[in-house]
Amino acid sequence: MGQWSRDEIESAFQHYVKTAAEAVAQGDWTAWAGLFTEDAVYVEHHYGIFNGREAISKWINSVMSPLPGMHFPIEWHIIDEERGWVVMLAWNRMPDPDGNGPYQAGSWTLLKYAGDNMWSYEEDMYNPAEFEEMLKVWAQADQAAKGASAS
Amino acid sequence: MKSGWSRSDAAMGHQGPGHDARYYTDEYPPAEVEAAWREYLRVGSGERRWDAYADMFHEDAVYVEHEDSCHEGREAIRAWIVPIMASLPSMTFEVEWWQIQGNRCTVYVWNRMADVEGKPSLAFMNVSIAYYGGDGRFSFQEDVINTGFTNRAMAEYFRLGGTP
Protein backbone atom coordinates (compact mmCIF):
# COMPACT_ATOMS: atom_id res chain seq x y z
CA MET A 1 0.00 0.00 0.00
CA GLY A 2 1.38 3.35 -1.03
CA GLN A 3 1.08 6.76 0.51
CA TRP A 4 -2.01 7.70 -1.50
CA SER A 5 -5.06 5.73 -2.60
CA ARG A 6 -5.63 4.76 -6.21
CA ASP A 7 -8.79 6.88 -6.24
CA GLU A 8 -6.91 9.97 -5.10
CA ILE A 9 -4.17 9.51 -7.71
CA GLU A 10 -6.74 8.85 -10.44
CA SER A 11 -8.69 11.94 -9.47
CA ALA A 12 -5.53 14.10 -9.39
CA PHE A 13 -4.58 12.72 -12.80
CA GLN A 14 -7.98 13.57 -14.28
CA HIS A 15 -7.55 17.08 -12.86
CA TYR A 16 -4.12 17.31 -14.52
CA VAL A 17 -5.62 16.22 -17.88
CA LYS A 18 -8.51 18.68 -17.55
CA THR A 19 -6.15 21.53 -16.63
CA ALA A 20 -4.03 20.76 -19.71
CA ALA A 21 -7.15 20.91 -21.90
CA GLU A 22 -8.03 24.29 -20.38
CA ALA A 23 -4.47 25.49 -21.00
CA VAL A 24 -4.84 24.56 -24.68
CA ALA A 25 -8.19 26.37 -24.89
CA GLN A 26 -6.84 29.50 -23.20
CA GLY A 27 -3.36 29.48 -24.71
CA ASP A 28 -1.91 29.87 -21.22
CA TRP A 29 -0.15 27.04 -19.39
CA THR A 30 0.51 28.89 -16.13
CA ALA A 31 -2.31 27.16 -14.22
CA TRP A 32 -1.11 23.79 -15.50
CA ALA A 33 2.43 24.54 -14.32
CA GLY A 34 0.82 25.43 -10.99
CA LEU A 35 0.02 21.72 -10.53
CA PHE A 36 3.72 21.12 -9.93
CA THR A 37 5.29 21.55 -6.52
CA GLU A 38 7.61 24.49 -6.10
CA ASP A 39 10.68 22.23 -6.27
CA ALA A 40 9.34 19.83 -8.93
CA VAL A 41 11.69 18.37 -11.53
CA TYR A 42 10.64 18.05 -15.17
CA VAL A 43 12.83 15.81 -17.31
CA GLU A 44 12.12 16.46 -20.97
CA HIS A 45 14.32 14.17 -23.00
CA HIS A 46 14.39 16.52 -25.95
CA TYR A 47 14.36 20.00 -24.36
CA GLY A 48 16.29 19.33 -21.17
CA ILE A 49 15.70 19.32 -17.42
CA PHE A 50 13.66 22.04 -15.71
CA ASN A 51 14.05 22.56 -11.98
CA GLY A 52 11.16 24.13 -10.12
CA ARG A 53 7.65 25.30 -10.94
CA GLU A 54 8.78 28.67 -12.30
CA ALA A 55 11.20 27.08 -14.79
CA ILE A 56 8.52 24.59 -15.85
CA SER A 57 5.98 27.38 -16.37
CA LYS A 58 8.36 29.51 -18.42
CA TRP A 59 9.36 26.60 -20.64
CA ILE A 60 5.88 25.16 -21.26
CA ASN A 61 4.44 28.56 -22.15
CA SER A 62 7.26 29.25 -24.59
CA VAL A 63 7.20 25.81 -26.21
CA MET A 64 3.41 25.72 -26.63
CA SER A 65 2.88 29.26 -27.92
CA PRO A 66 3.89 28.47 -31.56
CA LEU A 67 1.57 25.42 -31.53
CA PRO A 68 -1.90 26.71 -30.64
CA GLY A 69 -4.46 23.95 -30.88
CA MET A 70 -2.05 21.12 -30.15
CA HIS A 71 -3.92 18.96 -27.66
CA PHE A 72 -3.16 15.82 -25.74
CA PRO A 73 -5.68 12.97 -25.76
CA ILE A 74 -4.61 10.16 -23.43
CA GLU A 75 -4.34 6.77 -25.15
CA TRP A 76 -3.88 4.90 -21.87
CA HIS A 77 -2.58 5.38 -18.36
CA ILE A 78 -1.46 3.13 -15.55
CA ILE A 79 -1.85 4.08 -11.87
CA ASP A 80 1.01 2.69 -9.80
CA GLU A 81 -0.53 2.96 -6.36
CA GLU A 82 2.47 1.54 -4.56
CA ARG A 83 4.86 4.17 -5.92
CA GLY A 84 2.37 7.01 -6.33
CA TRP A 85 3.09 7.16 -10.06
CA VAL A 86 1.10 7.53 -13.25
CA VAL A 87 2.52 6.26 -16.52
CA MET A 88 0.76 7.25 -19.71
CA LEU A 89 0.83 7.37 -23.47
CA ALA A 90 -0.50 10.66 -24.79
CA TRP A 91 -1.11 11.76 -28.33
CA ASN A 92 0.21 15.17 -29.29
CA ARG A 93 -2.51 15.99 -31.78
CA MET A 94 -2.92 18.99 -34.07
CA PRO A 95 -6.29 20.32 -35.27
CA ASP A 96 -7.37 18.40 -38.39
CA PRO A 97 -7.50 20.93 -41.24
CA ASP A 98 -8.58 18.62 -44.07
CA GLY A 99 -10.32 15.59 -42.58
CA ASN A 100 -7.32 13.37 -43.32
CA GLY A 101 -6.06 13.28 -39.74
CA PRO A 102 -5.51 12.68 -36.98
CA TYR A 103 -2.23 14.54 -37.30
CA GLN A 104 -0.51 13.30 -34.19
CA ALA A 105 2.57 11.73 -32.64
CA GLY A 106 2.74 9.72 -29.44
CA SER A 107 4.71 10.50 -26.30
CA TRP A 108 5.40 8.58 -23.13
CA THR A 109 5.13 10.24 -19.72
CA LEU A 110 5.88 9.38 -16.11
CA LEU A 111 4.26 11.51 -13.38
CA LYS A 112 5.06 11.30 -9.67
CA TYR A 113 2.28 12.35 -7.34
CA ALA A 114 2.98 14.61 -4.36
CA GLY A 115 -0.46 14.85 -2.71
CA ASP A 116 -2.98 17.72 -2.77
CA ASN A 117 -3.50 17.44 -6.58
CA MET A 118 0.19 18.30 -7.11
CA TRP A 119 3.04 16.55 -8.91
CA SER A 120 6.72 16.57 -7.99
CA TYR A 121 8.12 15.01 -11.17
CA GLU A 122 7.33 14.61 -14.83
CA GLU A 123 9.39 12.84 -17.45
CA ASP A 124 8.54 12.86 -21.16
CA MET A 125 10.08 10.75 -23.88
CA TYR A 126 9.30 10.50 -27.58
CA ASN A 127 11.04 10.44 -30.92
CA PRO A 128 11.59 14.07 -32.02
CA ALA A 129 12.09 12.96 -35.64
CA GLU A 130 8.51 11.71 -35.75
CA PHE A 131 7.21 14.98 -34.33
CA GLU A 132 9.10 16.98 -36.92
CA GLU A 133 7.71 14.85 -39.69
CA MET A 134 4.16 15.02 -38.37
CA LEU A 135 4.34 18.82 -38.00
CA LYS A 136 5.73 19.18 -41.51
CA VAL A 137 2.90 17.16 -43.06
CA TRP A 138 0.35 18.93 -40.86
CA ALA A 139 1.68 22.39 -41.90
CA GLN A 140 1.32 21.45 -45.57
CA ALA A 141 -2.23 20.25 -45.03
CA ASP A 142 -3.03 23.37 -43.00
CA GLN A 143 -1.65 25.68 -45.70
CA ALA A 144 -3.51 23.82 -48.43
CA ALA A 145 -6.78 24.01 -46.49
CA LYS A 146 -6.33 27.74 -45.87
CA GLY A 147 -5.55 28.30 -49.54
CA ALA A 148 -8.65 26.36 -50.56
CA SER A 149 -10.90 28.36 -48.24
CA ALA A 150 -9.39 31.70 -49.39
CA SER A 151 -9.96 31.06 -53.09
CA MET B 1 -4.32 4.29 -43.06
CA LYS B 2 -5.54 7.59 -44.35
CA SER B 3 -2.21 9.25 -45.07
CA GLY B 4 1.49 8.79 -44.47
CA TRP B 5 1.80 11.70 -42.10
CA SER B 6 3.94 10.00 -39.52
CA ARG B 7 7.07 8.02 -40.04
CA SER B 8 6.04 5.60 -37.34
CA ASP B 9 2.57 5.12 -38.75
CA ALA B 10 3.88 4.77 -42.25
CA ALA B 11 6.28 2.10 -41.08
CA MET B 12 3.78 0.37 -38.84
CA GLY B 13 0.62 0.41 -40.79
CA HIS B 14 -1.29 1.05 -37.57
CA GLN B 15 -2.00 3.80 -35.13
CA GLY B 16 1.07 3.70 -32.94
CA PRO B 17 2.01 3.71 -29.29
CA GLY B 18 0.31 0.95 -27.42
CA HIS B 19 -2.78 0.92 -29.60
CA ASP B 20 -5.32 -0.25 -27.06
CA ALA B 21 -8.21 -1.41 -29.16
CA ARG B 22 -6.01 -3.91 -30.88
CA TYR B 23 -3.81 -5.24 -28.11
CA TYR B 24 -5.07 -4.46 -24.61
CA THR B 25 -7.02 -7.02 -22.62
CA ASP B 26 -7.42 -8.03 -18.98
CA GLU B 27 -8.48 -11.56 -19.85
CA TYR B 28 -5.26 -13.24 -18.66
CA PRO B 29 -4.60 -14.11 -15.00
CA PRO B 30 -2.19 -11.52 -13.56
CA ALA B 31 0.17 -14.23 -12.28
CA GLU B 32 0.44 -15.71 -15.78
CA VAL B 33 1.26 -12.32 -17.31
CA GLU B 34 3.82 -11.56 -14.63
CA ALA B 35 5.54 -14.94 -14.99
CA ALA B 36 5.91 -14.44 -18.75
CA TRP B 37 7.12 -10.88 -18.22
CA ARG B 38 9.77 -11.92 -15.69
CA GLU B 39 11.01 -14.55 -18.13
CA TYR B 40 11.08 -11.97 -20.93
CA LEU B 41 13.20 -9.65 -18.76
CA ARG B 42 15.46 -12.48 -17.62
CA VAL B 43 16.40 -13.82 -21.05
CA GLY B 44 16.57 -10.38 -22.72
CA SER B 45 17.90 -7.51 -20.63
CA GLY B 46 19.19 -9.88 -17.95
CA GLU B 47 21.05 -12.57 -19.87
CA ARG B 48 21.25 -11.12 -23.39
CA ARG B 49 20.05 -14.41 -24.88
CA TRP B 50 18.37 -12.85 -27.90
CA ASP B 51 17.40 -16.10 -29.60
CA ALA B 52 15.47 -17.07 -26.48
CA TYR B 53 14.13 -13.53 -26.31
CA ALA B 54 12.74 -13.82 -29.85
CA ASP B 55 11.01 -17.01 -28.74
CA MET B 56 9.07 -14.93 -26.18
CA PHE B 57 7.03 -13.54 -29.08
CA HIS B 58 4.11 -15.09 -30.91
CA GLU B 59 4.65 -16.20 -34.47
CA ASP B 60 2.65 -13.22 -35.77
CA ALA B 61 3.90 -10.68 -33.21
CA VAL B 62 4.73 -7.13 -34.22
CA TYR B 63 7.70 -5.21 -32.81
CA VAL B 64 7.87 -1.47 -33.50
CA GLU B 65 11.26 0.09 -32.95
CA HIS B 66 10.89 3.75 -33.70
CA GLU B 67 14.42 4.54 -34.77
CA ASP B 68 14.64 2.32 -37.75
CA SER B 69 12.13 -0.38 -38.09
CA CYS B 70 9.01 -2.40 -37.66
CA HIS B 71 9.36 -6.17 -37.51
CA GLU B 72 6.43 -8.38 -38.32
CA GLY B 73 6.55 -11.93 -37.09
CA ARG B 74 8.75 -13.79 -34.62
CA GLU B 75 11.34 -14.74 -37.23
CA ALA B 76 11.61 -11.14 -38.45
CA ILE B 77 12.12 -10.03 -34.84
CA ARG B 78 14.82 -12.68 -34.42
CA ALA B 79 16.53 -11.78 -37.70
CA TRP B 80 16.75 -8.17 -36.51
CA ILE B 81 17.58 -8.41 -32.81
CA VAL B 82 20.16 -11.23 -32.85
CA PRO B 83 22.66 -9.55 -35.21
CA ILE B 84 22.12 -6.05 -33.84
CA MET B 85 22.85 -7.21 -30.30
CA ALA B 86 25.80 -9.29 -31.52
CA SER B 87 27.20 -6.07 -32.97
CA LEU B 88 26.97 -4.35 -29.56
CA PRO B 89 28.60 -6.78 -27.12
CA SER B 90 29.61 -3.93 -24.76
CA MET B 91 26.01 -2.89 -24.14
CA THR B 92 24.28 -4.03 -20.97
CA PHE B 93 20.75 -3.36 -19.79
CA GLU B 94 19.72 -2.16 -16.36
CA VAL B 95 16.04 -2.33 -15.58
CA GLU B 96 15.13 0.69 -13.46
CA TRP B 97 11.48 -0.28 -12.96
CA TRP B 98 8.60 -2.11 -14.57
CA GLN B 99 4.83 -2.19 -14.28
CA ILE B 100 2.00 -4.40 -15.46
CA GLN B 101 -1.65 -3.61 -15.97
CA GLY B 102 -3.85 -6.20 -17.65
CA ASN B 103 -1.69 -7.64 -20.42
CA ARG B 104 0.25 -4.38 -20.82
CA CYS B 105 3.79 -4.54 -19.47
CA THR B 106 6.09 -1.52 -19.42
CA VAL B 107 9.74 -1.29 -18.50
CA TYR B 108 12.20 1.59 -18.11
CA VAL B 109 15.67 0.44 -19.12
CA TRP B 110 19.12 1.99 -19.11
CA ASN B 111 21.16 0.90 -22.12
CA ARG B 112 24.67 1.17 -20.71
CA MET B 113 27.94 0.96 -22.58
CA ALA B 114 31.06 -0.59 -21.07
CA ASP B 115 33.12 1.90 -19.08
CA VAL B 116 35.97 3.55 -20.91
CA GLU B 117 38.81 3.76 -18.39
CA GLY B 118 38.86 7.07 -16.57
CA LYS B 119 35.77 8.38 -18.39
CA PRO B 120 32.23 8.89 -17.17
CA SER B 121 29.87 6.01 -17.78
CA LEU B 122 27.59 6.44 -20.80
CA ALA B 123 24.02 5.23 -21.02
CA PHE B 124 20.72 6.12 -22.60
CA MET B 125 17.25 5.12 -21.57
CA ASN B 126 14.26 3.69 -23.33
CA VAL B 127 10.81 2.52 -22.40
CA SER B 128 9.37 -0.67 -23.84
CA ILE B 129 5.67 -1.45 -23.87
CA ALA B 130 4.83 -5.10 -24.52
CA TYR B 131 1.44 -6.79 -24.68
CA TYR B 132 1.04 -10.35 -23.47
CA GLY B 133 -0.89 -12.59 -25.83
CA GLY B 134 -1.25 -15.92 -23.98
CA ASP B 135 0.81 -19.14 -24.01
CA GLY B 136 3.67 -17.44 -22.22
CA ARG B 137 4.34 -15.16 -25.19
CA PHE B 138 3.91 -11.55 -26.25
CA SER B 139 2.02 -10.32 -29.30
CA PHE B 140 3.18 -6.72 -29.61
CA GLN B 141 6.03 -4.52 -28.50
CA GLU B 142 6.76 -0.88 -29.02
CA ASP B 143 9.89 0.92 -27.81
CA VAL B 144 9.89 4.60 -26.93
CA ILE B 145 13.27 6.21 -27.34
CA ASN B 146 14.64 9.68 -27.96
CA THR B 147 16.88 9.01 -30.91
CA GLY B 148 18.58 12.40 -30.73
CA PHE B 149 19.72 11.72 -27.18
CA THR B 150 20.71 8.16 -28.03
CA ASN B 151 22.75 9.16 -31.05
CA ARG B 152 24.60 11.85 -29.07
CA ALA B 153 25.36 9.40 -26.25
CA MET B 154 26.69 6.79 -28.67
CA ALA B 155 28.76 9.35 -30.60
CA GLU B 156 30.31 10.53 -27.33
CA TYR B 157 31.02 6.93 -26.31
CA PHE B 158 32.92 6.24 -29.55
CA ARG B 159 34.70 9.61 -29.33
CA LEU B 160 36.01 8.61 -25.89
CA GLY B 161 37.39 5.44 -27.42
CA GLY B 162 34.59 3.05 -26.51
CA THR B 163 34.16 -0.12 -28.50
CA PRO B 164 30.83 -1.49 -29.72
**In this predicted model, what pLDDT tens digit does every residue of A115-147 receive, in sequence order?**
999 999 999 998 888 888 889 989 999 999 988
pTM: 0.88
Q: Looking at residues B12-23, what average pLDDT do you find?
A: 53
Buried b (16+ CB within 10 A) or exposed e, A58-83: ebbbeebeeeeebbbebbbbbbbbeb
- The arithmetic mean of pLDDT across residues B96-102, rounded, is 93
CA-nearest residue of chain A to B146? Answer: A127
d(CA B107, CA B70): 19
Q: Which amino acid is at A70?
A: M
User: pLDDT of A94-121, one tens digit each?
Assistant: 999 988 888 888 889 999 999 999 999 9
Q: How far apart are CA A21 and CA A10, in angstroms?
A: 17
pLDDT digits (tens, 9 = 90+) for A29-58: 999 999 999 999 999 988 999 999 999 999
| pLDDT on residue B6 | 41
The verdict on A2 touching B (C-beta cutoff 8 Å) is no
- What pLDDT score was predicted for residue B157? 92
Pairing of strands B57-65, B138-144: parallel
Asked if the model's pLDDT at residue B1 lies above 60, the reply is no
Q: Which residues of A touch B17 (CB under 8 A)?
A: 75, 89, 106-108
- Phi-psi map region of B150: left, alpha, beta (phi>0 left; psi -120 to 50 alpha): alpha
Per residue in A69-102, pLDDT tens?
Answer: 999 999 889 999 999 999 999 999 999 998 888 8
CA-nearest residue to A76 within chain B is B20
Min distance A137 CA to chain B CA atoms (Å): 6
- Averaged pLDDT for residues A18-25: 97
Mutation for testing the B interface, residue in A45, A79, A87, A127 having most B CBs under 10 Å: A127
At residue A79, the pLDDT reads 92
Question: What is the pLDDT at residue B89?
Answer: 93
Q: Per residue in B123-161, pLDDT tens?
A: 999 999 999 999 999 999 988 888 788 888 899 999 999
Q: Is B146 helix (H, G, I), strand (E, B) or coil?
A: coil
Average pLDDT over residues B62-66: 81
User: pLDDT class for B9, splitting at 50, 70, 90?
Assistant: very low
